[in-house]
Structure 1
Amino acid sequence: MMKNIPLLIICLVALSASDVLAQENETIFKSAGIHRSGGYAAISNKFTKINGSYANMPGIYGGWFINQRFMLGIGAAATTNYIPVPVESEVFPGRKMSYQYGQIGLMTEYVVASTKWVHFNFNLLTGTGFTLQYDRHDMDDWDFEWDDHDDQDPKFFFLMEPGVQVEFNLLKWMRFSPGVSYRQAFGGKGNGLTDSDLSNITYNVTFKFGKF
């Protein structure tokens, strides 16, 4: 009987160690998994400059919100106001030609301390930007003809726009997130525009709705 005691002790120690290792593995697995999943949509208005002229750019984005930290989704925005085309770059000389700018792509956000009533988030849009020219001569008239506004000379290029926002939790399902970002174009040729003409700092006012 005495000879079996050391063997019994070794078995008990081994069982205890295996139980500890199993608990540690479970903890590691759970910490890397998805504890909470939600989603939200955002409406935003951006204020920036394109080719030195003021540009108003409404946009939308949204997606899957993971563990109250990381959002993975898509975003899009486009200009709405008159952005004059220099005379030497007009597709149709003598008309009131305006630049149209737009962007669409993968949108990601990393939220710091999402449950706090005020916190920060860092975001990044990666995708495609485009420019074109259109005749805006009669846009202020009620009886304009759509034929006068055909899109001309479309150009596409790669785009990245990192940014940061201060976020306020207004309600459980609603947040207010003003912020700033920097739009960087790569390969924006044509329409009389270069990468430097298309790249600029951007300010935004954003409201978010969803399950946070």
Structure 2
Amino acid sequence: MKKVLLFLFASIVMLSVNAQDDDDEMKTLFGRKSEVRGFGSFDIKVTEFNNENALFLGGHGGVILNKHFILGGGGYGLTTKNDFEVTNDNITEKFDLFGGYGGLVLGYIIAPKEIIHVSFPILIGAGGVEVVDDSRPIVNDLRATIERSAFFVVEPSVEIEMNITGFLRISANGGYRYVEGVDLDVNNISNNDLSSWTAGVSFKFGKF
């Protein structure tokens, strides 16, 4: 009986020590039990661009670390016609504006196991715009480019996501596209003209 009691006592002590060791173990993002999953999305964004209503199409994707942290990239292109007129010395010229942007996407998902949950992604990157003269003929499928400019962009967003299946999520999102570094002389297009609030939907496919 004494041997049994000693064995039980020794077992309890050993379990206590092991539990203490587990409690003292450092918690890291990339630990032994880290989960890495991937996804890709098709995104639709409604916004203003050069003070006109605009539609951007694109997508983003990457990995989800431990079901919460997003690390990836994305890109979007202007798909709607964005034209404007400039009058100088009683001469009116018509121009089109083309553009797009993309970059690194970081984010955090809150309560991803819930059917409806929230995530906070941010895109940090660069983009470009091109002003084309509509009055000049198209030669060899090339338009007459008047000006080009690159710019820096930051776009934080808030997403309300719904888990449809284990591999499909649909989200509604809203954010703000902040643009800096635009250098265009035509019509004095500025950073503010290309910065705007955004709203859209995303269809995400992957292993969540």
Q: TM-score, normalised by structure 2?
A: 0.80
* 1:100 maps onto 2:98 in alignment: yes
When structure 1 is superposed on structure 2, of 35-44 and 190-199 the one drifting more is: 190-199
CA distance in 2, matches of 1:151, 1:170: 45
- Contact conserved, 1:180 with 1:204, CA < 8 A, in 2? yes
Match for residue 158 of structure 1?
152
Displacement of 1:129 in angstroms is 1.8
Match for residue 3 of structure 2?
none
Secondary structure class of the residue paired with 1:196 = helix
What is the percentage of aligned positions where both structures have the same residue? Answer: 28
CA distance in 2, matches of 1:108, 1:30: 18
* Greater helix content: 1
When structure 1 is superposed on structure 2, of 78-87 and 32-41 the one drifting more is: 32-41
Paired amino acid for 1:68: K
Q: What is the 5 A alignment of 1:37-116?
A: 37-88=36-87, 96-116=94-114
* 1:202 maps onto 2:206 in alignment: no
- Contact conserved, 1:155 with 1:189, CA < 8 A, in 2? yes
Match for residue 161 of structure 2?
167
* 1:123 maps onto 2:117 in alignment: no
* Greater strand content: 2
Give the superposed CA RMSD. 2.7
* 1:185 maps onto 2:203 in alignment: no
CA distance in 2, matches of 1:129, 1:116: 35
Match for residue 5 of structure 2?
none
CA distance in 2, matches of 1:178, 1:137: 39
Secondary structure class of the residue paired with 1:121 = strand
CA distance in 1, matches of 2:171, 2:154: 20
Paired amino acid for 1:182: Y
Q: What is the 5 A alignment of 1:20-35?
A: 21-26=20-25, 28-29=26-27, 33=31, 35=34
Paired amino acid for 2:129: T
Displacement of 1:25 in angstroms is 2.7
Secondary structure class of the residue paired with 1:166 = strand
CA distance in 1, matches of 2:125, 2:29: 31
Number of residues paired by the alignment? 190
Q: Residues 82 and 31 of structure 1: is their aligned pair in 2 closer, same or farther, counting only changes over 3 Å?
A: closer
